[in-house]
Structure 1
Amino acid sequence: MTRPQATAVGFVAVLLWALLALFTVGSAPTPPFLLNTLCFAIGGTLGLIWAAATGALSRLRDVPLRVYVFGTLGLFGYHALYFSALRLAPAAEAGLIAYLWPLLIVIFSGLLPGETLKKGHIIGACFGFAGAALIITGGGAGFSATYAPGYALAVLCALTWSGYSVLSRKVGTAPTASVAVFCLASAALSLPMHLMFEETLLPQTTLGWAAIAGLGLGPVGLAFFVWDIGVKQGDIQLLGTSSYAAPLLSTLVLVIAGVAAPSFTLLWAAALITGGAAIAARASLRQ
């Protein structure tokens, strides 16, 4: 697979993640760790079936344990934080804060050996975080302590996924099929956490179960496999640039579905985050 082809495959994950917030809201009242368990079990099982069908199953025995630990912590940590954030704060606002990860990927990529952090990266970061601040303060209406825990988890969510994506370069020789093990291990970690800290609540409607199935098949399933190909074999900075479509697409989906109301605050925040990301990406591409 060529570098441009791998980058294009990775972009499929961006399109799938545009549905993540909508499906997460639709899966209510399922608590975060139980949702993690169900979705990762679906995604991991399908991944193993794919690995068996393509003959990649035997290669999983040769993957070092540290790679499995790294991948599991990345997937489990990100989604536990993401699902929790959307339960504790409005979906559109928490989702946009979490989508600071494309900007952070560009910045972290610039800090890797052989790369430099340019002025454009700094300016882009300021724009992006200005957008996040606009969301948190409600467009100048004041900080809402009610949603502070959700906003904080969304910030941690962005840091977790950007760190996982950039550091995936360090384990570039691990087969993409290993993502199936990441998923199943994340499900296994989530189940005891659910049993210890959460009440078992499941959707009461067919639509709710469809949302969980949709998460497991797409945003918490196929997306990880195509993203793994993209960040390991493609142009990670160009892929990061394309990822900046995710917050706008995600918010647009929420508005169309009637989950979030369109507002100028949301519009300006999306513009700031996306614009800042584009500035940072331009600096990286020039480099």
Structure 2
Amino acid sequence: MKKGILLLVAATFLWAGNYICGRYLAPALPATLLNTIRWAISTGLLWGLLMLNKKPFPIISKWREFVIQGFLGIFAFSTLNYLGLKSISASQAGMISAGIPITILLFTPFFLEEKIKTKAWIGAAISIFGVILLVEGRQANSSQGSIVGQIEILLSCLAWGMYTVLGKKYGKKIDPLTMTAGAGFYGTIFSAISCIGTVHPNMIHMTRNAWICIFYVSTFASVIAYFSWNTGVKIVGAGRAAPYINLLPVWTVLLGVLLLQEHISGITLLGGIVTILGAVLASLK
């Protein structure tokens, strides 16, 4: 059990690093190109793992599921995250992303036809109020760009919520490794297409540290975090694992302050705490 919990905590820590790297890479690469490079590498690694495990890769027969998941979870979620991180801090993006469990809750009745308990809806309402505090609390001192960045992070949460719920539905016939590899394959194609006509050489400013960040988001924040989370869920169970996703904004804030010297205002901190508390209430059985 302890091993499972450590794996869940490690996964959220590695995912938080993606926000830090995304913030650092904002001036180095356009968001669409960054996402294309990241998932091209990750998909290659995932494909290699499928081959090592002698598993088939049905990119044609299961194309519909892979296309939907690739668009939502690989292209939309990641690209919107990187776009948002160009104008808002990693800490704020992480706290807004604390609403992810709520988006999963909202989409569950529509796609899975599962009933949601009253306590979960109360937690959702609290969490949504926290997100409103996060957004509204910054608008007085925010530029138009940062407001757009907040909206982009909110939209990424919606994309991930739908991706997660549909992943549970499709997971009845497709194992998680194959699903992630397939989604990565088509998501990379979507990202590459979005670069056409929008990415120019003078927009690329790579440094040694930027390449290190590319390596991190393609391996640790993608493949390794994915395996840590799924192994942890297998050990402790999905119900007990769900609340641990709320560690993501906590790690993101800590890393943002320590590594990027970001500053957190009182209203931002309050909004983040309210969002996390609501998400925990909604997640607990």
Range into which the TM-score falls when normalised by the shorter chain? 0.7 to 0.9
Shift of 1:171: 1.1
Equivalent in the alignment of 2:193: 192
Q: 2:245 aligns with which of 243, 246, 260?
A: 243
Which amino acid counterpart does residue 174 of structure 1 have in structure 2?
I
Change (3 A) 1:15 1:94: closer
Backbone CA RMSD of aligned residues: 3.1
- Give the alignment's TM-score, normalised by structure 2: 0.84
1:254-280 C-alpha deviation (Å, 9 max, x unpaired): 111134113323321221111111111
Rounded to whole Å, the distance in 1 between the matches of 2:139 and 2:80 is 26
Rounded to whole Å, the distance in 2 between the matches of 1:54 and 1:88 is 41
3-state SS, counterpart of residue 263 of structure 2: coil
Q: In the alignment, is the contact (CA less than 8 A) between 1:94 and 1:151 conserved in 2? A: yes
1:121-164 C-alpha deviation (Å, 9 max, x unpaired): 22212221222122212368477544222111111110110111
Equivalent in the alignment of 1:33: 32
Shift of 1:97: 1.6
Shift of 1:224: 4.1
1:104-125 C-alpha deviation (Å, 9 max, x unpaired): 2244446665632233222212
Change (3 A) 1:196 1:276: same
Which runs of structure 2 are paired with 1:1-287 in the superposition (5 Å)? 12-29=10-27, 30-56=29-55, 58-60=56-58, 63-74=61-72, 75-109=74-108, 115-138=114-137, 141=140, 145-172=144-171, 173-175=173-175, 176-200=177-201, 201-224=203-226, 235-282=237-284, 285=285
Which amino acid counterpart does residue 196 of structure 2 have in structure 1?
L
Which stretch shows the higher mean deviation, 137-146 or 96-105? Answer: 137-146
Shift of 1:64: 1.8
Change (3 A) 1:38 1:114: closer
Shift of 1:102: 2.0
Q: In the alignment, is the contact (CA less than 8 A) between 1:71 and 1:182 conserved in 2? A: yes
Rounded to whole Å, the distance in 2 between the matches of 1:153 and 1:139 is 15
Q: In the alignment, is the contact (CA less than 8 A) between 1:36 and 1:186 conserved in 2? A: no
- Give the alignment's TM-score, normalised by structure 1: 0.84
Change (3 A) 1:96 1:209: same
Q: In the alignment, is the contact (CA less than 8 A) between 1:39 and 1:221 conserved in 2? A: no
Over the matched positions of the two proteins, sequence identity in percent amounts to 23
Unaligned runs of 5+ in 2: none
Which amino acid counterpart does residue 255 of structure 2 have in structure 1?
V
Unaligned runs of 5+ in 1: none
